[in-house]
Structure 1
Amino acid sequence: MTYRWTSPDRLELRPHRSLPRRGFAVVILLFFTLVTIPLTAMVGTVALWGLLPFAMAALAALWWGLERSYRDADILEVLTLAAPEIVLTRTNPDKTVQEWSCNSHWIRITKHERGGPVPHYVTLNGNGREVEIGAFLSEDERKALYGELASRLSDLR
């Protein structure tokens, strides 16, 4: 799961990384190897200098795309269930921090089966606002998260 309870009153949520950093290195090395194999037949010809910039540009584009994917998924959501107040803190990829808090007595958790940006969209309501939690999780993870949060919030009251 891409969310975990680090303590009984603290939940951390992060997007899933399907390609770890070691896999990133393997993909780049494999791509470089597969691109340079056909180029070895051109060594010593003028055609090599015509093809080499495009091969390296493709390698640079792959590197940039994967790095961009890592940066865009650098999100951390922390939900602290400390009575009497519940605090949700979200750290965005650009390192800005958004914070929402509500009295634990007035908080309401809602799962939107349809109509949200994703199926089984989970929101927290309270203090005059509705905030999303775990929108980047898979559908099954959002269902499980809703059940766990509903249980923990009922125990907290």
Structure 2
Amino acid sequence: MMKTILIGLIVFFSFFAMAQTPEELKVKQSIEALFSSMASKDSVKIKSVMHQSARLQSASFDKNGKSVLKDDHVSDFLKQIASIPLSVNIEERILSFEIKIDGNLATAWTPYQFYVNNKLSHCGVNIFQLFKEENNNWKIIQIADTRRKENCE
């Protein structure tokens, strides 16, 4: 009987430890809106979740194993998404969310797998920085990601 009560308490407290706050849910919704908009190739919707001065960066390795950091402009990213043919399906699957918030600044660590036409293309981790505007909307101010083709499953 004591064992059953102990297991019940562990499950009960684990649920609350993993529960997200309302603000964490709003941050998560902003990030999910980005990826659903990417899948539908809706550059207007993507722009609506991005702050006007947002930065995009990718960390990778070149063919010689040298560490490379690439900067992208949001306008170029929007053009890339809009130029994907309708026949090409893209999907970024977020494997988990780790969200931290302090006041009007949030960080989210999101491991992902990226699929093109339902075939795994690459994987990595996204690191999002979000800013809570006066209207209480969370806007993405920076995305940094890693991209690799190995160890994705």
Q: TM-score when scaled to structure 1?
A: 0.23
Task: Give the greater-gyration-radius structure (CA).
Answer: 1
Of structures 1 and 2, the one with the larger relative CO (CA 8 A, separation 6+) is 2
Q: Which has the higher helix share?
A: 1
Q: TM-score when scaled to structure 2?
A: 0.24
